[in-house]
Amino acid sequence: LQKSLNETFGADKYSEARKEVLTNMFSRPMQMAVYFCTGVLKDERLFRHYALNVPFYTHFTSPIRRYADVLVHRLLSASLGASSPIKMEKEAIQRQADHCNDRKMASKRVQELSADLFFAVFVRVRA
């Protein structure tokens, strides 16, 4: 998608803005990734990553960014035997994942509403 957008728009002064707006619009309907505890899911097909087409997938970034990443780091470290096991039941881990998902969705919604507001102000000022 990104390659198509880059090739479609010219090099005029508005091309970058058009590409940015369309990229934002195209990505909104895409399903967001969710955190979950594998121990509470019975169907292993839910572990797969659709876009990468891999059956088992985990994702995390630097543990200084989000609590969910701290939790994933701890769980992976324990599962690899590099640290002691986590003393949390799988249901408690799932509750943490649900909370992280809720906060991530709320943050995304606020970001979208903020962008909509500033776009509306921009259009109104320019009209």
10 Å CB burial of residue 93 (0-12, 13-18, 19+) is buried
pTM above 0.75, yes or no: no
Per-residue pLDDT tens digits for 88-98: 999 999 999 99
What is the predicted pLDDT for the residue at 69?
87
For residue 36, give the H/E element and its range. none
Average pLDDT, the chain: 83
* Sequence-ordered list of residues with C-beta below 8 angstroms from that of 68, at least 6 positions apart, any chain: 35, 60, 96, 97, 100, 104
Could you give the CA distance from residue 38 to residue 44 in angstroms, rounded to a whole number?
8
- pLDDT class of 29 with cuts at 50, 70, 90: low
**For a pLDDT cut of 70, what percent of the chain falls above it?**
91
Query: What is the amino acid identity at position 113?
Result: L
Q: Within a 13 Å sphere around the CA of 25, how many CA atoms are in the beta-carbon half?
A: 8
Asked if 93 contacts 102 with a C-beta cutoff of 8 angstroms, the reply is no
**Residue 85: is its pLDDT beyond 80?**
yes
Express each pLDDT in 35-78 by its tens digit.
888 888 888 887 877 677 788 888 777 777 788 888 888 998 99
For residue 6, is pLDDT > 70? no
What is the predicted pLDDT for the residue at 13? 79
Cα(127)–Cα(125) distance, integer angstroms: 6
